[in-house]
Amino acid sequence: MRVAVVGASGNAGTALLRRFGADETITSVAGIARRVPDGRLPAPYDVAEWVQCDIGRPGEDAPVVDRLTEAFAGADAVVHLAWLIQPSHMRSALRLTNVEGTRRVIEAVRRAGVPQLVVASSVGAYSPAPDDVPRREQWPTEGIRSSEYSVDKAAVERLLDEAEMLQPDLAIARLRPALIFQKHAGAEIQRYFLGRLFPARMLAEELPSLPWPTGLRLQAVHADDVAAAYREVVVRRQRGAFNIAADGVLHGQDVADMLAGGRLLDVSPTVARNAVAAAWHARAVPVSPGWVDLALQIPVLDTSRARHDLGWAPTIPAARALREIVDGIAAGDGGGSPPLRPRGR
């Protein structure tokens, strides 16, 4: 099989290249990215034939679609992973890449006659959940209105709904993973979510205490397990939505036991949101307060469909995936692509 991966140089894309490189079923890979690796390519980036393309380039609709169509020619599947999280103060730029860029990918898939499109959605596409009951893929995907990330993920879901109606012969699948972690993404996670002022090296030692918004719980999944799910969707030519998360739901005490010797400091969600809002407006942190709203309202994911229809099961528990990304942030770890560059480079 030939697979084209849009956003192949990022966190999930890097893991997917690792997976494809070890898979005899995947005979060739086209890697499409805004910032492509250059020079002598280290593994796993040497698996792909690289095409530079900014899917969110303003005012360039026809040239972008043409370039994507050419890159997709002869592909058995397109996996669309590209997503823009920063700069969070430039809302129009985020939407141009995330929503308009996805529309361009869908159009290029149609023009190139690719039979399958697999798109990275997210737990963030879901509507708020009032409890911790695990939700299956039928839970509404209207997003959380105060989160720009969630609003864009929900908009992409509507684009895919429309494409399914207009192109019934196109097999469209969408993966809705929890937080995706791997050690090589440590420096990237700090840049995108914590900011350059965050004292990352202190994570190498036990924290005095862990401030934690009351009621917050997390699901996570290792990037390699996400890549395994994408592989199964592609090879089995699956359609529809799949929740992807590792075993274990992490609450504040679980994380405090890992990072702070069990010392948990409960913080009111309102206080947490106001603090993030003040820091974001002061340009001290890169994430907007909408991320707090998102974290507190998303549902817990039921992954039974992926397990049944894909034969998929996570190999790394959520707590271990979290431990790995914490270690990666502390060390400023990275990889061989521009998005995953280590701290200080």
pLDDT digits (tens, 9 = 90+) for 152-199: 999 999 999 999 999 999 999 999 999 999 999 999 999 999 998 899
Backbone conformation region of residue 248, classed left if phi is above 0, alpha if psi is from -120 to 50, else beta: left
Check if the beta carbon of residue 186 is closer than 8 Å to that of residue 333.
yes
What average pLDDT does the structure give for the chain?
97
Query: Which H or E element spans position 64?
Result: helix 61-72
Residue 315's pLDDT is: 98
Percent of the chain residues topping a pLDDT of 90: 97
The identity of residue 65, as a single letter, is V
Residue 77's pLDDT is: 98
Across 236-250, average pLDDT: 97
Closest of 261, 254, 266 to residue 317, by C-alpha: 254
**Antiparallel, parallel or unpaired: β 179-181 and 77-80:** unpaired
Across 280-286, average pLDDT: 96
* DSSP reduced 3-state for 140: coil
Burial group, residue 211, by CB count within 10 angstroms (0-12, 13-18, 19+):
middle
At residue 39, does pLDDT exceed 90?
Answer: no
Closest of 28, 23, 3 to residue 224, by C-alpha: 23
pLDDT category, 38, cuts 50, 70, 90? Answer: confident
Q: Which residues contact 296 (CB under 8 A, 6 or more apart)?
A: 213, 215, 216, 269
3-state secondary structure 141-162: CCCCCCCHHHHHHHHHHHHHHH
* DSSP reduced 3-state for 292: helix
All structural domains of the chain with their residue ranges: 2-179+221-245+300-313
Across 267-280, average pLDDT: 97
Q: What angle do CA 88, 89, 92 make, to 5 degrees?
A: 85
* Cα–Cα distance for residue pair 305/134, rounded to 1 Å: 12
Q: Which two tokens stand for residue 97?
A: 């890449």
Q: What one-character-per-residue DSSP string does 69-124 give?
A: HHHHTT-SEEEE-------TT-HHHHHIIIIIHHHHHHHHHHHHT-SEEEEE--GG
Residue 35's pLDDT is: 94
Name the CATH superfamily for 2-179+221-245+300-313.
Answer: NAD(P)-binding Rossmann-like Domain (3.40.50.720)
At residue 345, does pLDDT exceed 90?
Answer: no
Beta strands in the chain (DSSP E): 2-6, 28-33, 48-52, 77-80, 116-120, 171-177, 179-181, 210-213, 217-218, 220-222, 240-244, 250-251, 264-267
At residue 58, does pLDDT exceed 80?
Answer: yes
Report the predicted TM-score, pTM, of the whole model to 2 decimal places.
0.96
Q: Which two tokens stand for residue 64?
A: 């972008």
Through-space distance between the first and last CA atoms of the chain, rounded to whole angstroms: 35
Identify the residue whose tokens are 């974001």.
280
